[in-house]
């Protein structure tokens, strides 16, 4: 059972799921920064939204943290670099509010086009100003989308339904992919000069902070209307206020601001400004999805399983072909580590067959996770496994080949005179060890295993079985492997419990046995 500290409100369903998994959910809302430093001590997971600041000091105080979960997309309030150095996984819910944010973008787009908030304010103030608040149509106008990611694509689809022509600026999207969306890719300068409306859908980075400022407004089409429901600080708000005041920009709608919460801005003085207080994700559906998603990501992280939405893992993505091999990759890493007292200075990991055509970096992390498990005081995760290898001076070398002789897919780890190969077999994709130190075997990996090397002569298998039976150790599975030469053999045995030291010594002293390796990964 782990302690999960929750400092901001998330959906009850997500919290209930964590409790059902056996975790202690500690809900502590409205903590001051000093209170947070005290509350995070002893916590294994921290769940936040956008208000809690997860600083270096918080991560230092939370020495037992395994994961920080942000119930939403943005991570401006999390020191991700420090978390990575400390081996703390950072996860978010990137798909939870994309629909609500896209819809809010369209609402802001329509509001700034038809000046709806201004007309509403005048009406409730007792003024019927029908002729004053004349707007413009979206149809036949050009929409410039900055950032053609998940949300940008949804906005493009919806704007197309309004009869808008779509152009976009995104250096990370291929022109062919944009054409499939009926979107023309352009540079930012062309977008500024061409678009009647602009929507922003970018992350906050040093490169994007202030990207829409004086230089942009000097090149922008006169009367352009701008909408930002992405990240605060992407627009220089003072420069935008000046551009609205002198008429260079015809309207602006912002949901996010450089500093939040904000109740005072030069933008608020502009008649053609529409503002909302960071409501992009504020729908019941998005809140529920964010809470459920982040709870599931935290549960997976605490269980040491693959976490799809981890942001500080170099290989967080795993294709449907690769993902089923995560378990067997970790298992063969553990078996490899158990074959000798210490890991070698160079470890080779080879992928053969269909796997070789995919990004296998996450499998390498799984192999390392298995190999280092139990060898360090801190838990080994997908996040810190590469750092553990670097700290120990272990070089990791990866190779891939699409050809495989005996198996459709094969993962092999080797080094220091040892090698272990594993794959998945059958319709159920069951894990198997199929090679060990040059011997062909076929046995499911398990937490407790014994590898016995012996002379290839009659009677040895019986003596090993008798020794284990007399010690009350049950054999769950067993296979005997031979080399092509046939001079020696080995037994790979899955046992039901950790093998006592005296039983291992009895096996080592048995006639015909040359060595015994005990693998305990529980």
Q: Is 231 a catalytic residue?
A: yes
Annotated catalytic residue, options 60, 137, 260, 285 = 260
Q: Is 260 a catalytic residue?
A: yes
Written as six digits, the tokens of 137 are 């149509």
Q: Are 479 and 450 in contact (CB under 8 A)?
A: no
The residue to which tokens 């991570």 are assigned: 75
- DSSP code, position 266: G
Annotated catalytic residue, options 49, 231, 448, 453 = 231
Q: Is 215 helix (H, G, I), strand (E, B) or coil?
A: helix
Annotated catalytic residue, options 85, 114, 248, 278 = 278
CA 281 to chain centre: 20
Give residues with Cβ within 8 angstroms of 36, minimum separation 6. Answer: 7, 52, 58
The CA distance from 66 to 429, in Å, is: 29
The CA distance from 78 to 365, in Å, is: 23
- For the residues of 75-119, what is the DSSP string, one character each? -TTB-HHHHHHTT-EEEE-TTSSHHHHHHHHHHHHHHHHHTHHHH
- For the residues of 317-373, what is the DSSP string, one character each? ---TTTGGGHHHHHHHHHHHHHTSSS--SEEEEEEEEGGGGS--HHHHHHHHHHHHT
Query: How far, CA to CA in Å, does 390 sit from each of 315, 375, 393?
Result: 17, 14, 5
Burial of 147 (0-12, 13-18, 19+ CB in 10 A): buried
Q: Roughly how many angstroms between the first and final C-alpha of the chain, as a whole number?
A: 16
- Phi, psi for 123 (deg, rounded to 5): -65, -50
Q: Which active-site residues does the annotation give?
A: 231, 260, 278
């Amino acid at each position: 059972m782990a302690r999960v500290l929750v400092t901001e409100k998330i959906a009850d369903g997500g919290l209930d799921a964590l409790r059902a998994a056996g975790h202690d959910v500690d809900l502590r809302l409205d903590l001051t920064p000093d209170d947070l430093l005290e509350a995070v001590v002893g916590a294994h997971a921290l769940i936040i939204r956008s208000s809690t600041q997860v600083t270096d000091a918080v991560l230092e105080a939370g020495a037992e943290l395994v994961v920080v979960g942000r119930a939403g997309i943005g991570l401006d309030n999390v020191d991700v670099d420090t978390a990575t150095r400390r081996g703390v996984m950072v996860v978010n819910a990137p798909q939870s509010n994309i629909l609500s944010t896209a819809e809010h973008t369209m609402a802001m787009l329509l509001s700034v086009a038809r000046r709806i908030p201004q007309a509403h304010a005048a009406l409730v103030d007792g003024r019927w100003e029908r002729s004053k608040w004349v707007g413009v149509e979206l149809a036949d106008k050009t929409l410039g989308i900055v950032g053609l990611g998940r949300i940008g694509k949804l906005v493009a689809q919806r704007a197309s339904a309004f009869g808008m022509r779509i152009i976009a600026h995104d250096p990370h999207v291929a022109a062919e992919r944009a054409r499939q969306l009926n979107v023309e890719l352009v540079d930012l300068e062309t977008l500024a000069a061409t678009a009647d409306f602009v929507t922003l859908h970018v992350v906050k980075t040093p490169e994007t902070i202030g990207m829409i400022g004086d230089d942009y407004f000097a090149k922008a089409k006169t009367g352009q209307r701008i909408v930002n429901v992405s990240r605060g600080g992407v627009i220089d708000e003072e420069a935008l206020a000046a551009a609205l005041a002198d008429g260079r920009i015809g309207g602006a709608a912002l949901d996010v601001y450089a500093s939040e919460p904000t109740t005072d801005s030069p933008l608020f003085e502009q008649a053609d400004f529409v503002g909302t207080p960071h409501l992009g994700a504020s729908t019941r559906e998005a809140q529920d999805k964010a809470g459920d998603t982040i709870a599931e990501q935290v549960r997976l992280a605490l269980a040491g399983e693959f976490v799809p939405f981890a942001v500080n893992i170099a290989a967080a993505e795993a294709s449907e072909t690769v993902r089923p091999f995560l378990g067997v990759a970790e298992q063969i890493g553990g078996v490899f580590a158990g074959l000798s007292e210490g890991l070698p200075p160079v470890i080779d990991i080879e992928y053969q067959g269909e796997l070789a055509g995919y990004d296998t970096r996450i499998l390498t992390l799984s192999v390392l996770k298995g190999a280092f498990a139990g060898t360090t005081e801190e838990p080994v995760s997908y996040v810190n496994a590469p750092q553990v290898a670097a700290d120990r001076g272990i070089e990791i070398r990866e190779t891939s080949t699409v050809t495989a002789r005996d198996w459709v897919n094969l993962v092999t780890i080797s080094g220091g005179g040892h090698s272990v190969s594993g794959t998945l077999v059958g319709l159920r994709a069951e894990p198997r060890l199929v090679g060990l130190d040059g011997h062909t075997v076929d046995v499911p990996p398990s937490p407790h295993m014994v590898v016995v090397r012996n002379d290839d002569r009659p009677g040895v298998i019986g003596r090993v079985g008798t020794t284990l039976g007399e010690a009350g150790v049950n054999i769950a599975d067993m296979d005997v492997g031979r080399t092509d030469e046939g001079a020696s053999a080995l037994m790979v045995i899955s046992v039901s419990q950790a093998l006592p030291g005296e039983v291992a010594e009895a096996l080592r002293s048995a006639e015909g046995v040359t060595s015994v390796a005990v693998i305990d990964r529980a």
